[in-house]
Amino acid sequence: MAEITAALVKELREKTGAGMMECKKALNETNGDLEQAIDWLRKKGLSVAAKKAGRVAAQGLVGVKANGKKGAIVELNSETDFVAKNTEFQDFLSHVVDTALADGDLEAEKEALTNLIAKIGENMSLRRTQVLSVDNGIVASYMHSQQAPGLGKIGVLVALESTAPADKLAEVAKQIAMHIAASAPKFLDVASVDPAAVAHEKAIYSEQAKASGKPEAIIEKMVEGRIRKYYEEVVLMEQAYIMDPDKKVKDILAEASKNLGTPVELKGYVRYALGEGIEKKNEDFAAEVNAQLNK
């Protein structure tokens, strides 16, 4: 039997877009013959995934799950919402979330996704995943507008560090997670705000203030006021708590610490909104059909 080298597997993968494991299997099945391996993959429907890879996948679902001191969140994209409602798609996403939560092999999941693309016939993308954990405390999950257990359009993880009872922390974490889902903060606290982002905002506010013709000292105070307002918009701890706007999120945590008799610290959070940041293709149906006919 011919030697199946890494270079040969790589070449087959580049030609077909099939996963690494599928390419290796195809070469084993065809005694290392590249052209026969391509045909083998085509017959299995695996090489078609490459043709779909360039198509925009901005639909899909976010999956989230927490288990005590650890939680995982994953975004899996598809081209259409119809496919996102497919049970195979949903089962695959749930499996990936479980794999991430168990620190499993996500590269193997990407290989499995290639098979799912070939089977369903639509481009999909395992776009992003993140895991949060704490030494003491709890990681809680929340799914806004849940479509299936742990699956939906906006998922949130919240990590609270504390020695307080887990059930009490879970109540606090859920309320904060709901706030995060609705308010979409960009930063945890003022210290974590990107200095470049602050400098950018200051430059804009300064130019706006100068246009008013006011004295420099007044302009400086105006800019400081606008920066405080900026923090209140984008920093979680400085945001007005959505369920009690007279308080900030940091006040809610301070109250929880007092009520539970031990410090409650928000160590981190993750918020995934489906498709955010993906440039969506804007074509009407007639143009799409016409493009297909003229290929």
CATH number attached to the domain at 194-234: 1.10.286
In 3D, which of 126, 143, 172, 92 has the Cα closest to residue 271?
Answer: 143
Tokens of 174: 């859920």
pLDDT band at 283 (very low <50, low <70, confident <90, very high): very low
Greater confidence (50 vs 95) lies with 95
CATH architecture of the domain 59-190+235-273 equals: 2-Layer Sandwich (3.30)
* DSSP state letters, 259-294: HHTS--EEEEEEEEETTTT-------HHHHHHHHHT
Greater confidence (56 vs 225) lies with 225
Give the up-direction half-sphere exposure of residue 15: CA atoms within 13 A in the CB hemisphere. Answer: 18
CATH number attached to the domain at 6-52: 1.10.8.10
Cα distances from 74 to residues 10, 44, 79, 224, 273, in angstroms, run 28, 28, 17, 38, 10
CB 78 within 8 A of CB 274: no
pLDDT score, position 82 = 92
Instruction: Examine the pLDDT at 280 and tell me if it is beyond 70.
Output: no
When mean pLDDT is compared across 7-11, 54-58, 248-252, the lowest value belongs to 54-58
Greater confidence (183 vs 58) lies with 183
Q: Which residue has the tokens 């990107």?
A: 194
pLDDT score, position 170 = 95
Calculate mean pLDDT across residues 134-142. Answer: 97
Q: What is the mean pLDDT of the chain?
A: 87
pLDDT score, position 145 = 85
Share of the chain above pLDDT 70, in %: 88
pLDDT score, position 285 = 43
pLDDT band at 188 (very low <50, low <70, confident <90, very high): very high
Instruction: Examine the pLDDT at 15 and tell me if it is beyond 80.
Output: no
Q: Which of 16-20, 190-194, 260-264 shows the highest mean pLDDT?
A: 260-264
Q: Which secondary-structure segment (H or E) carries 100? A: helix 87-101
pLDDT score, position 274 = 94
In 3D, which of 64, 82, 81 has the Cα closest to residue 73?
Answer: 64
Cα distances from 154 to residues 8, 75, 187, in angstroms, run 42, 10, 17
Greater confidence (282 vs 108) lies with 108
Calculate mean pLDDT across residues 103-120. Answer: 87
Q: For the chain, what are the domain ranges?
A: 6-52, 59-190+235-273, 194-234
Calculate mean pLDDT across residues 14-40. Answer: 83
pLDDT band at 136 (very low <50, low <70, confident <90, very high): very high
Per-residue pLDDT tens over the stretch 208-259:
877 777 788 888 888 888 899 999 999 999 999 999 999 999 999 999 999 9
pLDDT score, position 293 = 45
Instruction: Examine the pLDDT at 51 and tell me if it is beyond 80.
Output: no
